[in-house]
Structure formats: C-alpha cells, structure tokens
Amino acid sequence: MLVSFICWMFREIVPLPMAEQSLNPPAIFDGYSQTIDSLEAAAEPANATKLLDLSLKLFDTDAGRRASIDSRAASMMPAIALAATLVTGVGFSSLNSTSALSAAAFWAMLLTLVVTLIYLVFTVVLLFWIQGDIVRSTPDPTDLSHAFAAAANAYARDVATRVLRYTVANYQVNNRVTNRLEIAQKCFRNALLVLVGGGTVTVLIMFGRPAAPRSVALAQALAIDAGCNSLPTLTVDGQGRWAGTCLRGGRVAKLTVDASGRVEFAP
C-alpha cells in the first residue's frame, strides 16, 4: 500500500508519458484490425452502404475528439502566459533586493521561483507540441477512385474498410496526444501548488525571523551612544538586525544593531 502511494505521488510530481503498450493496448487494437480484415474478406454484403455510413460517423466522431483536444490545449495558453508573467515579475522584483531577506527566506523564494518556472516551461512545450504538426490519417481521392468499377456494394464496403483503418490509426495518435495534454495539465497544476506552497513557506520564514529593534530612531540612538559621531543610515539585514554606516573617529564605520540593542562595529 505504501509503495503504491509513493509510486502514485511520484507520477503526480514528475508526470511522465505512458508506455505505448498502455496507451494503445495491442489486445484491443489487434481486435480492431481483425474485425476490419473480416469485413474486407467477407462476401459482398447487402448492407455495405450502411456500413460506409457508420464508418464515416466513427471517423467524424474521432475528428471531433481531436478538435476537443486542440481546444483544451488552446484554452490553457492564456493562463500559462498570465502565470509566467506574474511569477517572473514578482519573483525578480523580490530577488532584486535580498538585503531584507534571511538566508532561509531567500532560498525558499528562489526554489519556488525556479521549480514553478520549470513546470511552466514543460507545460508550454507540451502545449505547442499538441498544436504542432501531428500526422493523422484521412481519406483522399485515391481511396474513392481505386475500385470505382466494382459493384456498388463491394465499392462501398471497400471504402468503408479504408475509412475504418484510418479511424483506428487516428485512435492511436489521439491517445498519445491526450496523454501529453494530461501531463501538461499536471505540470500546470504542480506549478500553482508550488507557487502557493512556496510563497506560504517564505512568508512564514520572514515573519518568524528575529525581530529588529522597534524603530530606526531607537537603533540610531543606540549607535550614537556606542560611539557614532553622525546619525547612521540603517536598514534591516537578512538576520533581522539594523545595519548601516556612520562616522566614527573621523572614519566611515560599518555597524549592526541586533534585537537586544547590542551595537557591533565591523573591524
């Protein structure tokens, strides 16, 4: 049970393409081929016209499935573009000034940004692949003219079996494309989960860091009392301390003021 859960979790975190044997089971598609072969080898049927109509309906139904896959892939593109813009904009702006971040908050933010962008890149690549040049089968004029001199029933049956073979071939292609679409959806879902989870962790780390003195005025007063000859310029550093510079003994000195009010000068 535990092993199955771990395997399932791994497949959700790192979605990989399914094996061809699982996507298009030979037992099922061999049955399709045998059925078409039997129709092709049978004596001239009386209901060949009906067989052709049903074959065309199957072909059109599968064509509708293809349109649905393309539509689902296209509908994800605006969301991907918006997410990528927000992640890169907010992430780069936050990382542009890291002096106010602790080491833990910095790495949490950086890992969140990197992992989210990796998932988004894979999502976009898969969506472009789905909407790219995918070869499928379709009847052409040669399929309609090669047996035109045959009897009506034999001709209809021959065209029907050709359409059925094209339909089965398209089943296999669409199964592969659907698998890629599912992977893209999982990657996009994981990107959002990482973004929300990583952002939450970063905020908790930032709120949990050591507190600086209550105000910059208090820190400046402590610095002057410790030996600064000028009003120091202070900002909060990554460890939650006030850090800056002041004039001390006629020279510029670096100093820090920690949460307990202790002032330290850099050598």
Q: What is the pLDDT of residues 227-236, one digit of tens each?
A: 888 888 888 7
- Please give the DSSP secondary-structure letter assigned to residue 249: T
Count CA within 13 A, CB hemisphere, residue 113: 18
How far is it, in rounded angstroms, from Cα 92 to Cα 103? 17
Q: Tokens 């060949």 appear where? A: 48
Query: Where does residue 227 fall: left (phi above 0), alpha (psi -120 to 50 degrees), or beta otherwise?
Result: left
255 membership: H or E segment, kind and range: strand 251-257
- pLDDT given at position 21: 93
Those residues with Cβ within 8 angstroms of residue 77's Cβ, 6 or more apart along the chain or in another chain: 127
What are 24-41's pLDDT values in tens digits? 999 999 999 999 999 888
How far is it, in rounded angstroms, from Cα 3 to Cα 8? 9
Reply yes or no on whether the pLDDT at 60 is more than 70: yes
DSSP-assigned letters across all residues of 49-78: HHHHHHHHHHHHHHHHHHHHHHHHHHHHHH
| Token output for 242 | 């006030």
Q: Are 240 and 212 in contact (CB under 8 A)?
A: yes
Reply yes or no on whether the pLDDT at 208 is more than 70: no
Q: What confidence category does residue 149 fall into, taking pLDDT thresholds of 50, 70 and 90?
A: low
Neighbours of 220 (CB within 10 A): 21
Determine the average pLDDT of the residues in 14-22.
91
Sign (positive or negative) of CA dihedral 66, 67, 70, 73: negative
End-to-end CA gap in the chain? 60
**Mean pLDDT across the chain, nearest whole number?**
85
What are 114-141's pLDDT values in tens digits? 899 999 999 999 999 998 888 898 888 8
- Closest-CA residue to 115 (of 87, 90, 94): 87
Q: What confidence category does residue 42 fall into, taking pLDDT thresholds of 50, 70 and 90?
A: confident
3 membership: H or E segment, kind and range: helix 2-13
Those residues with Cβ within 8 angstroms of residue 113's Cβ, 6 or more apart along the chain or in another chain: 87, 91, 95, 198
